[in-house]
Amino acid sequence: MHTRRDFLQFAAVAACLNGVAGFSPRASAQQQLTQDDLLAFNAKGKLTLLHLTDLHAQLKPLYFRPPSENIGVGDYAGIPPHLVGEDFLKHFGLERGSALAYAHTMVDYVDMARAYGRLGGLDRTATLVNAIRAERGDSNVLLLDGGDTWQGSYTALKTNAQDMVDCMALLKPAAMVGHWEFTLGTDRVEEIIDSLDYPFLASNIVDNDWEEPVFESTSIVQAGDTTVAIIGQAMPYTPIANPRWMFPQWSFGLRLEALQANVDAAREQGAEVVVLLSHNGFDVDRKLASEVSGIDVILTGHTHDAIPQAINVGNTLILASGSHGKYLGRVDLEVKNGKVTDHSSNLIPVFSDVIEPDKQMADKINEVRAPYQPELDRVIGKTDSLLYRRGNFNGTWDDLICQGMMEERDAELSFSPGFRWGTTLLPGDNITIDDLYTQTAMSYPQVYRLEFTGERIKEILEDVCDNLFNPDPFFQQGGDMVRVGGMGYSCAPEAAMGSRINNMTLLATGEPIDPNKSYVVAGWASVNEDVEGPAIYDLMENYIGKQDIIKVEPNQSVKFTG
């Protein structure tokens, strides 16, 4: 008897074969993988939690290449989610060339993408959610939105996130949390929250004047015959990673004492299951699970990590459900005498070619995109290279953006933020406005042009590096490494603060970056107010439009050791 895992493991190993007359890798993959295979599950108990996180406003099926680097340090080195490629396959026992290998790793990525097609699409996710609700009973299923939902696309930018709000409403989440949502500004965030039919939760945000909670911390719901407490945790370092001036009245932080108090209060109110809906990031939540007692399940987001099943930290389950709508997380819980006694978990890859789109959601997506469709479809270039962004260091989209900023702003060097959001294009694809905005759509897009000394450049890189590689997860406050153009360097993630960045080199001359010399630097997404410069999406549209074909050579100038 074949299990769902068997199908996902072996369905299309043969589909990797090429050169056979009349053979279609994609057709073979589609013939062997079905919607029923994706939905097959070892159900437990009566309660089902579904988790969708870090959508970044992506409504349509897409390509999203998993990272080449996801480095863990200290106690977190070499364990999930800090495994990539062959190491990931080996750890989780996945067959190279299988559906799960494609969903989770960059191994043979272009061939696998052509074989299996795109993932995601909120209409496909809706189909899966509706099927699980029908199977388990609607009242027994709680769908939870882990945040970073309202930002990351052309239509989200142009509608001030109303497109995402309208589409997500059809999924009927039980609750959501936030991070990039706050970059819409205080007034717009409050306006949207007032319109929602479900709570926006944040146990860890207080106002600056009275240190009183700004949002609800907890939602206690009845799921079938089980009382469930959902506690929300917004990204604790939002004012560091994003502009504080956009939400100046609010103070963020981990606030573990407040979280523990909210967990205890939920238990006192009769909660049999306590769920932390978190945007802390995987390593932060791994450590948090060992310091805050009484949490049964943490559904974590922010770091875009995706692991096939939940892991245990003590008595707490942690599930990371990826990003961009590629996956739908599922956790089933058996609850007896007020306690979780058994569980089953899975990360469902949303293979768009084998899932029947939900008509209501598909119609809504078409409706919100229709006014902008001609512009979304407008072709501005073509790529001969795989364009992707996701990993601790530069991806090819980042390299393209860095090159564009240097040329368009007449700069010697360039900085591009270590964002984890942004979709992938395969070699031979057209580049549309829709594609460009998946990399650049944000509310503070100005491209600055400033002078920095070599000493200041090293300070910036060291500071970002510590945010990423501090061995204590509670001090990891940012995204991935800032991407650089025009320079090379080496990085030692496990070195001490101030000693991780070395061998900084100006690529134009091959000379070392002089700490006493000033360099003209172009960059974008500054957290400072009143930054002057063109919007990054306008600058890059202009730059890409000037190229015949985009070709980005592999970046050998940024190296890491250890």
pLDDT tens per residue across span 221-261: 999 999 999 999 999 999 999 999 999 999 999 999 999 99
Backbone region of residue 137 per phi and psi (left: phi > 0; alpha: psi in -120 to 50; beta: other values): left
Looking at the structure, tell me whether residues 394 and 342 fall in a common domain: no
Looking at the structure, tell me whether residues 270 and 289 fall in a common domain: yes
Looking at the structure, tell me whether residues 94 and 202 fall in a common domain: no
Residue at which a domain ends, from 307, 338, 368: 368
Looking at the structure, tell me whether residues 467 and 322 fall in a common domain: no
Looking at the structure, tell me whether residues 141 and 249 fall in a common domain: yes
**Distance in angstroms (rounded) separating the CA atoms of residues 391 and 78:** 15
In a domain, 71, yes or no: no
The whole-number pLDDT of residue 3 equals 58
Domain containing 12 equals 1-33+82-116
Phi and psi angles of residue 231, each rounded to the nearest 5 degrees, phi first: -110, 130
CA distance to 62, 361, 432, 505, per residue, from 367 (Å): 19, 10, 20, 50
Position of tokens 């080449």?
68
Amino acid residing at 254: L
Spatial contact of 33 and 7, defined as CB atoms under 8 Å apart: yes
**Which tokens is 369 given?**
């995109």
In a domain, 73, yes or no: no
Looking at the structure, tell me whether residues 96 and 121 fall in a common domain: no
In a domain, 484, yes or no: yes
Residue at which a domain ends, from 335, 368, 401: 368
The whole-number pLDDT of residue 2 equals 41
- Tally of residues, the chain: 562
Amino acid residing at 278: S
Looking at the structure, tell me whether residues 168 and 250 fall in a common domain: yes
The whole-number pLDDT of residue 561 equals 83
Q: How many CB atoms lie within 10 A of CB 315?
A: 12
Looking at the structure, tell me whether residues 418 and 317 fall in a common domain: no
CB neighbours of 459 closer than 8 A, spacing ≥ 6? none
Per-residue pLDDT of the chain (562 residues; tens, 9 = 90+): 345 555 566 555 444 444 433 445 555 555 589 999 999 999 999 999 999 999 999 999 999 999 999 999 999 999 999 999 999 999 999 999 999 999 999 999 999 999 999 999 999 999 999 999 999 999 999 999 999 999 999 999 999 999 999 999 999 999 999 999 999 999 999 999 999 999 999 999 999 999 999 999 999 999 999 999 999 999 999 999 999 999 999 999 999 999 999 999 999 999 999 999 999 999 999 999 999 999 999 999 999 999 999 999 999 999 999 999 999 999 999 999 999 999 999 999 999 999 999 999 999 999 999 999 999 999 999 999 999 998 999 999 999 999 999 999 999 999 999 999 999 999 999 999 999 999 999 999 999 999 999 999 999 999 999 999 999 999 988 789 999 999 999 999 999 999 999 999 999 999 999 999 999 999 999 999 999 999 999 999 999 999 999 999 989 999 988 6
**Which tokens is 395 given?**
């991806």
Looking at the structure, tell me whether residues 357 and 382 fall in a common domain: no
The whole-number pLDDT of residue 4 equals 56
Looking at the structure, tell me whether residues 146 and 200 fall in a common domain: yes
The whole-number pLDDT of residue 6 equals 58
- Total domains in the chain come to 3
Q: 438-471 burial, b if ≥16 CB within 10 A, otherwise e?
A: bbbbbbbbbbbbbebebeebbebbbebbbbbbbb
**Which tokens is 150 given?**
């309202």
- Number of H helices and E strands in the chain, helices first, is 19, 25
Looking at the structure, tell me whether residues 319 and 442 fall in a common domain: no
The CATH code of the domain that includes 350 is: 3.60.21.10
**Distance in angstroms (rounded) separating the CA atoms of residues 104 and 80:** 12
In a domain, 68, yes or no: no
Spatial contact of 469 and 486, defined as CB atoms under 8 Å apart: no
Looking at the structure, tell me whether residues 26 and 40 fall in a common domain: no
In a domain, 76, yes or no: no
The whole-number pLDDT of residue 479 equals 80
Burial of residue 283, with CB atoms counted within 10 A of its CB: 0-12 exposed, 13-18 middle, 19 or more buried: buried
The whole-number pLDDT of residue 32 equals 81
Amino acid residing at 264: D
The whole-number pLDDT of residue 459 equals 97
Residue at which a domain ends, from 315, 347, 368: 368
In a domain, 490, yes or no: yes
**Distance in angstroms (rounded) separating the CA atoms of residues 531 and 445:** 9
**Distance in angstroms (rounded) separating the CA atoms of residues 277 and 173:** 12
Which has the closest alpha carbon to 105: 118, 93, 96? 96
**Distance in angstroms (rounded) separating the CA atoms of residues 280 and 282:** 7
The whole-number pLDDT of residue 477 equals 81
In a domain, 75, yes or no: no
The CATH code of the domain that includes 470 is: 3.90.780.10
**Distance in angstroms (rounded) separating the CA atoms of residues 439 and 332:** 35
In a domain, 69, yes or no: no
Per-position DSSP letters for 12-38, written without gaps between them: TSGGG----TT--HHHHHHHH--HHHH
Q: 430 pairs with which residues across the strands?
A: 382
The whole-number pLDDT of residue 448 equals 98
Q: What are the E-state strand segments in 358-481?
A: 379-382, 413-416, 430-432, 447-453
The whole-number pLDDT of residue 18 equals 46
**Distance in angstroms (rounded) separating the CA atoms of residues 45 and 163:** 36
The whole-number pLDDT of residue 15 equals 44
Which has the closest alpha carbon to 447: 412, 483, 486, 414? 414
